[in-house]
Structure 1
Amino acid sequence: MLNNPSRAQPAAVSMHAPRRRLGGAAALAAAFSLFSLVVVWHELHGPSAHAADEPIAQAHADDADQTPDDVATLTAPGVNGANGANGANGELIRRGEYLARAADCAACHTADKARPFAGGLPISTPFGTIVTPNITPDPDTGIGRWSDADFLRAMHEGIGKSGERLYPAFPYTAYTRVTEQDVLAIRAYLNTLTPIHYTPPANSLKFPFNQRWLMVFWNLFNFTEGRFVPDPKQSAEWNRGAYLVEGLAHCEECHTPRNFMQGLQSGARFSGAVQAGWHAFNITPDKLSGVGEWSDDELIAYLSTGAAPGRANAAGPMGEVVANSTQHLTPVDLRSIVVYLRSLPPVSGGDTRGRHQWGTPADDVTALRGTAITGVNGAQLFVANCASCHSWTGQGVGASAPGAYPSLIHNSTVGATDANNLALVILHGVNRATAHADVMMPAFGGHLDDEQIAAITNYVTRQFGNPQATMSAGQVAKLRTLQ
């Protein structure tokens, strides 16, 4: 996630005449002057910081159709209670709690559930490890001494209280689109948290990426500061979905591939990317590589419960997103997200078959009876470790009930073109708690070695999924090391 762009090497020390040194200094001064002019132009002509701070009027039309429990808590687009910041403090705090869930703040800022929002979560990047900060109102180790202006500046501009540049592992590149009213509502909610006196470990970044001032250059190429501006040609529902997806929910941070500077590739938005080993799949409307064949109800079910039978079951980081964030969104907001995703340009990943279209039931258990097994056998390991929940046929147990053990047939994880997600699920298990069901799959990484995990993975993809997706013991070993 980290995007610290400068790979410049230290300048060589000149052993020649002072004139060459003066020439180099003049060139450096000229370059710095040019850069300063670019910054000034960007400040004068870039998007206004206040262009869309006002609630989006055209989206209020759908508020009348909501029940009291579904009243939207966003100030844009189209959220009822747009004047909440001027009303009772309790309403502001409740709205801030909802917004903090939509932004999934807890996911990154909670490493220990006994210390919620106290930070300490290590995030691996190509340039080292970033550790998330404490955002409880503790005055010494958290943000208790931050002013509202400090908080707004961090969220909108990526600049900390002391003027330090924040790394984009914190998605200020998306949060910059969130209105001032909504940011201050989140701030009001965070102020109500129990202060936790805890200083997370320091970042561990390689030189020169530990030099925060270099983020100035990264921002020039990868960050556009400014609030969300509604599209008058689109519906209120679309604008509402765009505001959520592009801003608070920051979906692109995981689902869009990155350039060599680790900035988002604007030409491949939402087409899928790999984060810490996990493949965040293509969520454009492409019928084979994306979610074009999913119904609206299936997408909403996936976001609200983590399960869309016959399509996919959320695990890993997406399972956490469902548990911490999307299951708490109102039906209006969930449907708005789907409307916006439907409007995205389809991006093909080159697939010739949809991820959910693979698989046939297995009958290997019959062949294994009375057979002496030598070496590592994927079918035997599957029957011994997986069949009690997924059935030896791979068809799962419990059909489509909320607490069902999912089928491995017609399953997006098993039918993917790479087996990373499947191997990671076997390694780490699943623990996804929603209002519909507590889904738990044990982690097998503690008692199965890399060769055994690879054997199960390859058996499952060969029998129930995409047989071209394979995993070696060495790849499993590498996946074990990822945070």
Structure 2
Amino acid sequence: MGGLAAAFSLFALYLAWHASAEPDPSPADESPIALAAAEGPASGSPASGTEAALPSDAAGASLVKRGEYLARAGDCIACHTADKARPFAGGVPISTPFGTIYTPNITPDPNTGIGRWTDADFVRAMHEGIGKSGERLYPAFPYPEYTRVTERDVLAIRAYLKTVEPIHYAPPRNALSFPFNLRWLMVVWNLFNFDEGRFVPDPKQSPEWNRGAYLVEGLAHCEECHTPRNFMQGLKSTDRFSGATVSGWHAFNITPDKTSGIGAWGGADLASYLSTGVAPGRANAAGPMAQVVEDSTQYLTDEDLRSIGTYLRSLPPVAGGETRARDQWGAPAHDDVTTLRGTKIAGVNGAQLFIANCATCHNWSGQGVGASAPGAYPSLIHNSVAGAADASNLAMVILHGVERTTKDADVLMPEFASQLSDAQVAAISNYVTRQFGNPGSTITVDQVAKLRAQQQ
């Protein structure tokens, strides 16, 4: 064991020396990707990348506006805002198998934020995962995806962040177990899980496809939630976009497989889901995805939404083993209410709990209330959560509710974690999947208890 430890130490020292001694591998930034870069809602002459080179205040304002749009596309505010009264001040706890990481303050505060960072410091962090003082950043910050963003766009985001309110706030220190608290070990992680370099358009593909690829693989960092991870917590390149679990929530397969993925979705379905959180008759965004819609994708242009759909539908389909699409299950309940009348209930009864807690909004028949109105309470029939092979998301929705604000509607489902026991949540979940969704999908009381304990 002593020999193995010594050999590992020598290998690690070699990697650290090699990383510090090798020349900067960063390629020169490409010329602006006119056909692939995410364009903001306001067009203008391409920004040169530094404020000093701006020809006018109008150009500076255009750069900031573009940076705001790109920061929305990257959903920066979600991970860097623990308290809505302190936007971008960090402090969001991110749970990992190795401990908890707290996101940093990225406001222009000079002492607790990034006010003393140069543009070069910011670009290096985004492209290489290296902080101002040369420290290795942890991949909870998705630099493996952000490395693909052009320097032009990175500098636009930087220009926008300089305009947000500086907030003096120091987030908690990371709570990582040894040896994962040693940042230099990220040299080893990067060796196996990180390829530094900018996005290069595919000349064989359309401008719309290239724009979608640039967004999905870069700023939007969709793989971070929708791709499973290896034992080092890097992304499994062989199962891209096939689905993964994040903080107890299952991020579904978004490859074009017609059964397990979104292959049966039309372009309008996906655009509607990303802009409103609802794909009628298919899905309603909850959990982390509801926050993505609220903070990010609802602000994307129609062109960018179409581009994302074009790219996702071109991916290799990955089958997940399902025999029927998630949104093709279920039928209305017909006689559960009348059956319960005058019946003495013994123990925990899913039908009784559903009618008592859920029927006001979802109707005792499960068909929802409000039809297709923007603020309608969704039907549980032909619903991807009720029809999923794994009932975890359904239980998580019952535990934590749904809160999603878009330009179309304020959606609020109350949380029941404080009102229902694990046994009651399991009973309602199993009733819903049996009656309105996939009857083969069940959840145990112990599984609900584990989901309840997940840090959100």
CA 1:260–1:308: 2 relative to 1, 3 Å: same
Letter in 1 for 2:362: H
Q: Does 1:372 align with 2:350?
A: no
Mapped partners of 1:42, 1:256: distance in 2: 31
Name 2:92's counterpart in structure 1: 121
Contact 2:128/2:143 (<8 A) preserved: yes
Name 1:306's counterpart in structure 2: 277
Mapped partners of 1:40, 1:51: distance in 2: 22
Letter in 2 for 1:467: P
Name 1:72's counterpart in structure 2: 39
Mapped partners of 1:407, 1:135: distance in 2: 40
Name 2:382's counterpart in structure 1: 410
Name 1:6's counterpart in structure 2: none
Q: How does 1:33-48 map to 2 (within 5 A)?
A: 35=15, 39=19, 48=26
Q: Does 1:215 align with 2:186?
A: yes
Name 1:445's counterpart in structure 2: 417
Name 2:169's counterpart in structure 1: 198
Select 1:470's aligned residue among 428, 439, 442: 442
Letter in 2 for 1:345: P
CA 1:42–1:202: 2 relative to 1, 3 Å: same
Answer with 275-284 or 81-90: which moved more. Answer: 81-90
Contact 2:16/2:187 (<8 A) preserved: no
Q: Does 1:263 align with 2:230?
A: no
Select 2:432's aligned residue among 455, 460, 463: 460
Name 1:63's counterpart in structure 2: none
Mapped partners of 1:416, 1:29: distance in 2: 46
Name 1:249's counterpart in structure 2: 220
Backbone CA RMSD of aligned residues: 2.2
Select 2:27's aligned residue among 49, 69, 79: 49
Provide TM-score, normalisation by structure 2: 0.93
Name 1:82's counterpart in structure 2: 46
Mapped partners of 2:198, 2:231: distance in 1: 26
Contact 1:99/1:186 (<8 A) preserved: yes
Q: Does 1:349 align with 2:317?
A: no
Contact 1:177/1:226 (<8 A) preserved: yes
Mapped partners of 1:115, 1:435: distance in 2: 22
Provide TM-score, normalisation by structure 1: 0.88
Name 2:311's counterpart in structure 1: 340
Contact 2:35/2:208 (<8 A) preserved: no
**Where do 5+ consecutive residues of structure 1 fail to align?**
1-10, 15-22, 61-70
Mapped partners of 2:21, 2:110: distance in 1: 37
Mapped partners of 1:308, 1:397: distance in 2: 16
Mapped partners of 1:405, 1:33: distance in 2: 58
CA 1:40–1:207: 2 relative to 1, 3 Å: closer
Contact 1:51/1:229 (<8 A) preserved: no
Q: Which runs of 4+ in 1 moved over 3 A?
A: 27-44, 57-60, 83-87
Letter in 2 for 1:152: V
Mapped partners of 1:432, 1:38: distance in 2: 47
Contact 1:138/1:197 (<8 A) preserved: yes
CA 1:439–1:58: 2 relative to 1, 3 Å: closer
Letter in 1 for 2:141: F
Mapped partners of 2:411, 2:356: distance in 1: 21
- State the Cα distance separating 1:72 from its structure 2 match: 2.5
Q: Does 1:142 align with 2:113?
A: yes
Q: Does 1:153 align with 2:124?
A: yes
Select 2:404's aligned residue among 432, 439, 452: 432
Count of residues in correspondence between the two structures: 447
Mapped partners of 1:144, 1:38: distance in 2: 31
- State the Cα distance separating 1:181 from its structure 2 match: 1.0
CA 1:228–1:443: 2 relative to 1, 3 Å: same
Letter in 2 for 1:201: P
- State the Cα distance separating 1:309 from its structure 2 match: 1.2
CA 1:445–1:34: 2 relative to 1, 3 Å: closer
Name 1:273's counterpart in structure 2: 244
Mapped partners of 2:197, 2:41: distance in 1: 17
Contact 1:122/1:131 (<8 A) preserved: yes
Aligned-residue identity in percent: 70
Q: Secondary structure at the match of 1:94?
A: helix
- State the Cα distance separating 1:58 from its structure 2 match: 4.8
**Where do 5+ consecutive residues of structure 2 fail to align?**
none
Q: Secondary structure at the match of 1:401?
A: coil
Letter in 2 for 1:56: I
Mapped partners of 1:141, 1:37: distance in 2: 30
